Amino acid sequence: MLQEQVYSELEGRDSEVRHPIWGAFLLLKENLERIMLLNIGWGLQLFPALVALAFPDLPLWLRAGFFVYSAFASVLAGGTLYAVIARLSAGEDLHRQLIWDELRRCVRPCFRSLIPLYSLCALLLWLIVLLPAQFLPGSALAQFALLCLLFCSIYWGPILIHSNDLSWFALLKESGKMVWRAPYQTLLVGLVIGVILVCAIATVAGFFLLAPGLVVTLQLHTYQLYGVARRRK
């Protein structure tokens, strides 16, 4: 999806702000309206699932269809969000053709790599909820595996737009290497993302208007500083 030169341009901008957290907030400040529009586009994909949750009396097949649509569409929209915000970070202008081009490029990588990984996270969460309290070792193992996946997920989107031909297992492996290469930075960024999401969910509007774009921007800057830049040294 994104070519190497886009990350090169992003690296030039990051040389001015050498910490991903400040770089993310700086980009948000410079492109607030554009990122809000992209966030709304992503949030609209969740609307069918919210309808299914709000109206339990709807036919089961219709509610299931709403959930399936939101699950797949939100992942595809999320991949597009990574690609478009990366181009904004590189100084490109936001326009309809850019979004459409990135959306088309995201289809195969998202379905091949991101959806299996997010499905794995959902499976682990399902196991944690359903496993009885007496089966403590299994529950603890599932919680540990989910925690590891969540930290690795910080890099899934940025790695995928950098190398869009990776399988889901290769993407998981590369993200694991990133966590191993920069554990403290990953932990810090993960905590900041957690705070952002908690605050955004509490305000509701923040979740649909600001949080996704800010989280994506933070992940892109983190990967640029601790992934791409270090491999070039």
pLDDT in tens, 81-105: 999 998 888 778 888 888 899 989 9
One DSSP character per residue, 64-85 reads HHHHHHHHHHHHHHHHHHHHHH
Distance CA 79, CA 174 (A): 17
Residue 199 has pLDDT above 50, yes or no: yes
Give pLDDT, residue 231.
Answer: 53
Give the other-Cβ count within 10 Å of 69's Cβ: 16
Please tell me which residue, 231 or 176, carries the higher pLDDT value. Answer: 176
The residue segments making up the domain with residue 49 are 4-232
Computed from CA positions of residues 107, 109, 112, 115, in that sequence, does the dihedral angle turn out positive or negative? negative
Q: How confident is the model at residue 209 (pLDDT cuts 50, 70, 90)?
A: confident
CB 206 within 8 A of CB 199: yes
pLDDT in tens, 112-134: 999 999 999 999 988 888 876 66
As for how many domains the chain has, the answer is 1
Give pLDDT, residue 156.
Answer: 93
Mean local confidence (pLDDT), 47-64: 91
Q: How confident is the model at residue 59 (pLDDT cuts 50, 70, 90)?
A: very high
